[in-house]
Amino acid sequence: MRHLGAASIVPLHVTAPLNRRMLDRLAPFGFVLIWSSSFIASRVGLRHLSPLLFVAVRMWVCAAILVSVVLLLRRPWSALRGKWQHCAVAGILVNAILLMTAHTAMTRVPAAPIALIQTLNPLLTAALGWPVLGERLAPRQWLGLLLGAAGVVLIVGLAALRSRVEVHLLLLTVGGVIALVGGTLYFGRYCRGVPMLECTMVQFAASALTCTACMWMFETPHGDWTTSAIASVAWNAGVVSLGGMVLYLLMLERGTVARATANFYLVPGVAAVLAWSLLGERLAPLTVVGLAVSSVGCWLVSRKPVPRRRSADSA
């Protein structure tokens, strides 16, 4: 008698939901790790490339890869009918404007204050999610958002206060975060139901065109294509932009925007850990405390409420 392995015994209709649940649980951790690494890679790349050139090349690489995949898989373009304009708008807001403002600021501002400003995203998204998308937050989730904000302040607040940064660059970063919030809400309102691959392809193609136009209008592009510069662009394009944004859109597709954006609270702490382990930067005790507080806040926002069991009397 032929031996049957475990995979052949478990029905597909059972393993598929298990795989989806596992993916839903791992996606936030993968997103935080990937997004945090972009700060380190960007700091390296900006030593050799002008900021808008850096972002434009990154977007073109992503767009070229996705177009090639769509053509290779012979995916039907009809899936974008009536939706591609919405995907383009969401992509420009979430990718192009956010990254152009952040990379421009990182040429003169340390990464920590920029990471702090980007964590305004969950608060703004949660505040606007109810009137725009009808997504209400429980008191537990509001507490989580406040804890997340407190953890971020513990991590980088003192450093941001002591550093002499240029106000207009920080305001520019705030504008990028507002664009991210708008793009997140816009995606949740108009882009759900569009196949992930086709939607992401349109987003990066629109972002590439936008970044290229802004590069020629607002800077004199220059680049020294060293090994470090190429590696930085490759990492940020292939891993951060493609891998990270796919995970982000997956979280938006599977849950509420508040749960998806709450993961941004973990980015400053994880980025500090990566800087300590990879670049030898000192990891202060305050950073550890802040990371712990942010983690608790993120858990409170993202965990699903446990349904109450019906009692025997009400059956």
Q: What's the pLDDT score for residue 12?
A: 41
d(CA 30, CA 114): 21
Give the tens place of pLDDT for each residue, 274-313: 777 776 666 667 666 766 776 677 667 666 554 444 444 4
Residue type, 270: V
**Measured in whole angstroms, how far is the alpha carbon of residue 62 from the centre of its chain?**
15
d(CA 158, CA 130): 32
Give the tens place of pLDDT for each residue, 27-58: 667 778 888 888 889 888 998 999 999 999 99
Cβ density class 171-186: b for 16+ within 10 Å, e for less? ebbbebbbbbbbbbbb
Question: Regarding predicted confidence, which is higher, 295 or 94?
Answer: 94
Q: Provide the percentage of residues in the chain whose pLDDT is more than 70.
A: 63
Q: Which of 102-111, 147-156, 196-205 has the lowest mean pLDDT?
A: 147-156
Beta bridge partners of 223: 49
User: Which residue, 242, 185, 204, is CA-closest to 88?
Assistant: 204
d(CA 109, CA 129): 30
Q: What's the pLDDT score for residue 271?
A: 75
d(CA 307, CA 178): 35
Answer for the pair 247, 183: CB distance below 8 angstroms, yes or no. Answer: no
Q: What's the pLDDT score for residue 177?
A: 85
* pLDDT at residue 2 tops 60: no
Give the tens place of pLDDT for each residue, 131-167: 665 666 677 777 777 777 776 666 655 555 566 666 7
Question: Regarding predicted confidence, which is higher, 288 or 81?
Answer: 81
Average pLDDT, the chain: 76
d(CA 188, CA 10): 35
CA distances from 173 to 88, 98, 109, 111, 241 (A): 21, 8, 10, 11, 18
* pLDDT at residue 243 tops 70: yes
**SS3 sequence, 219-265?**
CCCCECCCHHHHHHHHHHHHHHHHHHHHHHHHHHHHCCHHHHHHHHH
Q: What's the pLDDT score for residue 313?
A: 44
Residue type, 294: S
Question: What SS3 state is found at 62?
Answer: helix
Q: What's the pLDDT score for residue 195?
A: 81
Q: What's the pLDDT score for residue 13?
A: 47
Answer for the pair 264, 302: CB distance below 8 angstroms, yes or no. Answer: no
Answer for the pair 180, 94: CB distance below 8 angstroms, yes or no. Answer: yes
Answer for the pair 67, 143: CB distance below 8 angstroms, yes or no. Answer: no
* pLDDT at residue 227 tops 90: yes
User: Which residue, 289, 264, 283, 287, is CA-closest to 33?
Assistant: 264
Section 253-267 average pLDDT: 63
Sketch the domain layout of the chain as residue ranges: 50-302
Residue type, 74: R
Question: What SS3 state is found at 49?
Answer: strand
